[in-house]
């Protein structure tokens, strides 16, 4: 789930590698640590410049959709993954 990826990115990445049969190396681990540190710093800077709690804000109305339509079309996905 997306929430898991945000809360524990390294653990999720390791699991994806394991499932895919890809070797998770120390070199990749170091690169991922570097990326995650930079990403966190960028998010902190972006949030400090904005009063918003989230970095990005989207609305289904921006795309001409309604809650009812989205829930109907994605019913199975929502039940399984949300």
- Output the pLDDT for position 81: 87
Q: Which two tokens stand for residue 27?
A: 């070199």
Per-residue pLDDT for 14 more than 80?
yes
CA distance linking residue 63 with residue 78, whole number of Å: 19
Confidence of residue 7 (pLDDT cuts 50, 70, 90): very high
pLDDT tens sequence across 38-72: 988 887 887 776 555 566 678 899 899 999 999 99
What DSSP string describes 10-65? Answer: HHHHHHHHHHHT----HHHHHHHHHHHHHHHHHHHHHHHT-S-SSS----GGGGT-
């Amino acid at each position: 789930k997306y929430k898991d990826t945000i809360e524990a990115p390294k653990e999720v990445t390791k699991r994806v590698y394991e499932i895919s049969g890809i070797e998770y190396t120390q070199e990749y681990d170091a690169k991922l640590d570097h990326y995650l540190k930079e990403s966190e710093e960028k998010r902190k800077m972006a949030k400090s410049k904005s009063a918003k709690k989230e970095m990005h804000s989207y609305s289904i109305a921006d795309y001409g959709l309604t809650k009812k339509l989205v829930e109907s079309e994605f019913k199975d996905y929502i039940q399984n993954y949300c």
